[in-house]
Amino acid sequence: MTFVSINPTTEAEIGRTDPTPPAAVERVLAAAVAAQRAWGQAAFAVRAEPLRRLGALLRAEADRLAERMALEMGKPLAQGRAEAEKCAWACEYFADHAAGFLATQEVAEVPGARIAFRPLGVVLAVMPWNFPFWQVIRFAAPTLMAGNAGLLKHAPNVQGCAADLVDLFARAGFPPGLFANLAVEVDGVAALIARPEVGAVTLTGSARAGRAVAAAAGAALKKSVLELGGSDPYVVLEDADVGAAAATCVASRLTNAGQTCISAKRFIVVEPVREAFTDAVRARLAAARAGDPLGTGPDAPDLGPLARRDLRDALHDQVRRSVAAGARRVLGGEVPGRAGWFYPPTLLDGVRPGMAAFDEETFGPVAAIVPARDEAEAVALANASEFGLGAAVFTADPERGRRLAELGLEAGCCVVNDFVRSDPRLPFGGIRGSGYGRELGLFGIREFVNIKTVSVRP
């Protein structure tokens, strides 16, 4: 089956990619194994050189890459440029810090014992379309610096981005075969995981995809890291700066048209400030402008279309089911009569457990106001989810916020008076239905290594 890229703004076909033939898959796997054997023995300084060049290319070509993202999945140009810049930062960060993170450690209590960090081999990455460069680089930069090879199975609708990535890695000077994209169907992923050439697998995607990859990796007894969906709660307490909280929550909810696992989704607000917060959020959502993601200057939109028609249809169904279950539609919630897969910024009030907008991940610009009596109920509602990726709390008391973030909220990434975002310096990942394992930082680079105990008797 040919992979088709469709511009979500115009609904016009813009590219086709033929699937990788079986014979080519064999060649790619063999080349990855051969390249990794030599790469895994190279010094960190040698590995860092092409990674730094990759970062420089990403930064220099940010405008071109942003245009590719706008055309293939609808990201506004400014956000696409920021994504490319963040990719460059990650390359530079791991080029600088990998040697320290993976330095062999002496064990003082056991004479002659050392702990070494050695690569696992070839790592397969099953990546999504919503951050088509960042998701790949945040896997590849630490994984390759750890001495592994990387095989990418990118989303069908962003094969142009995948081709750009392969080209960038080649021009940066990585050894041939060390990084490649395999254009394979979803139902071919399990067979790839089972291949003896593949040593581990990482996935960013839905909970359904995560279960399938985890099952395949478990059957093959291979390490896996899963970053799955989220229904991130943002708790607004009675002492919060309501205007600032509303601005932060809306900024998070509208980034990438709401198509991000860690965007604010459930706004859990204590009653004393609920009305004021709802009014402030409504005003900001109503002022947001949707439009052509290629727009610049005064024509630059706040959000573009959703990436695919089926995604918009699924989001609209969640809104309708939530309203039918008792939520109040304050703003938006109607499919616009225009070309492109746009969905308006939408605000639902009175959302409770049992409603789609509370229980499910809403992958689009839909915000849900969840009323709470007090801090205790707000935290309980925040944790009443199958997910556990990100969470935030807004309060005038930083120590109160820190206490709730560290001890109350159940998620892998918790922030106070800000929105959740990934950072190359910090571990990133979730719990429960949001997956397991960590990416980025010290903990991320150690996910795909053999933590090897070496003991020598004199």
CATH number at residue 34: 3.40.605.10
Tell me whether residue 118 is in a domain: yes
Same domain, 192 and 326: no
Specify the CATH number for the domain of residue 248: 3.40.309.10
Considering the domain architecture, whether residues 163 and 205 belong to the same structural domain is answered as: yes
On whether residue 424 sits in a domain, the answer given is no
Residue 167 lies inside a defined structural domain of this protein:
yes
Q: Domain check: are 211 and 323 in the same one?
A: no
Examine the domain organization and report whether 218 and 251 are in the same domain. no
Q: Of the listed 87, 91, 161, 261, which one is catalytic?
A: 261
Q: pLDDT tens-digit profile of 168-227?
A: 999 999 999 999 999 999 999 999 999 999 999 999 999 999 999 999 999 999 999 999
Give residue 324's pLDDT band: very low, low, confident or very high (50, 70, 90): very high
Rounded to whole angstroms, how far apart are CA atoms 48 and 92? 8
Question: How many domains, in total, are found in the chain?
Answer: 2
CA distances from 126 to 189, 197, 202, 209, 454 (A): 8, 16, 6, 10, 33
Helix (H) or strand (E) holding 118: strand 113-119
Residue 116 lies in a domain: yes
Q: What are 66-123's pLDDT values in tens digits? A: 999 999 999 999 999 999 999 999 999 999 999 999 999 999 999 999 999 999 999 9
Choose, from 227, 360, 410, 439, the residue flagged as catalytic. 227
In terms of domains, do 88 and 192 share one? Answer: yes
Walk across the sheet containing 413-416 and list its strands: 328-331, 346-349, 366-372, 266-270, 233-236, 390-394, 413-416
pLDDT band of residue 1 (cuts 50, 70, 90) is confident
**Is residue 94 domain-resident?**
yes
Residue 427 inside a domain? The answer is no
Q: Which domain holds residue 372?
A: 233-416
Whether residues 163 and 255 fall in one domain: no
Distances 115 to 104, 148, 278, 309 between C-alpha atoms, Å: 6, 18, 53, 50
Domain shared by 303 and 224, yes or no: no
| Domain shared by 116 and 211, yes or no | yes
**54 and 193 assigned to the same domain:** yes
109 is catalytic: no
H runs (alpha helix) in 288-397: 309-324, 356-359, 375-383
pLDDT tens for 287-315 read 999 999 999 999 999 999 999 999 999 99
**Residue 421 located in a structural domain:** no
> Quick check: is 227 catalytic?
yes
Closest CA to 58 of 15, 109, 13, 93: 93
Q: Does one domain contain both 264 and 161?
A: no
Are 222 and 87 in a shared domain?
A: yes
Residues with Cβ < 8 Å from 362, sequence gap 6 or more?
231, 258, 265, 315, 318, 356, 368
Answer whether residue 162 is part of any domain.
yes
d(CA 448, CA 383) in angstroms, rounded, equals: 30
Residues 181 and 38 reside in one and the same domain: yes
Note the pLDDT tens digit of each residue in 216-262: 999 999 999 999 999 999 999 999 999 999 999 999 999 999 999 99
Are 320 and 332 in contact by the 8 Å Cβ rule? The answer is no
